[in-house]
Structure 1
Amino acid sequence: MQLPAARGRVSAALIDALAGRTTKLPAFAHFDGDEDLHLTLFVCYELAYRGWDGVDDCWEWDPGLLRLRTAAENRYLSSLYDLVGAPTEAVDPATVPAALARIVEEDDGPGLSGYLRGRATFEQFREFVTHRSVYHLREADPHSWALPRIGGRAKAALVEIQTDEYGGGIEPRMHQELFKRTMRWFDLDLSYGGYVDSVGAPTLAVNNLMSLFGLHRARRGMILGHLAAYEMTSSLPNRAYANGLRRLGGDADATAFYDEHVEADAVHEQIAAHDLCGSFAAAEPARAADVLFGARCALAVDSLWAQSVLDTWQQGRSSLRNRTVQPVLAG
Structure 2
Amino acid sequence: MSAEVRELVRTYLPEFPIQYCKSLVTDTTQFMSIDYGHVIELGDVHYMVYKNEAERRFGLEDPKYWVKRCHELETGKRKILKLEFFETFPVQVGKFRVECYRSPDKESRILDIVRGDSRFMQGITIKDAAGRNVRVLEIVNGRRLDLTVDRIDVEHDVYFREHLPGLLRRYLEAVRAIGMLHRHGERHGDIRRDHLYVEHGTGNLCWIDFDYTFHSYEHPFGLDLFGLGNILVFLVGKANITVQSLEGMGLAERLEGRLSSDDLSIVIPNRIVNLRKIYPYVPEALNRVLMHFSNSAEVFYTTTDELLADLEPCVEALESEYGRKPE
TM-score (norm 2): 0.24
Flag the structure with larger Rg: 2
Higher relative contact order (CA 8 A, sep 6+): 1
The structure in which a higher percent of residues are strand is 2
The structure in which a higher percent of residues are helix is 1
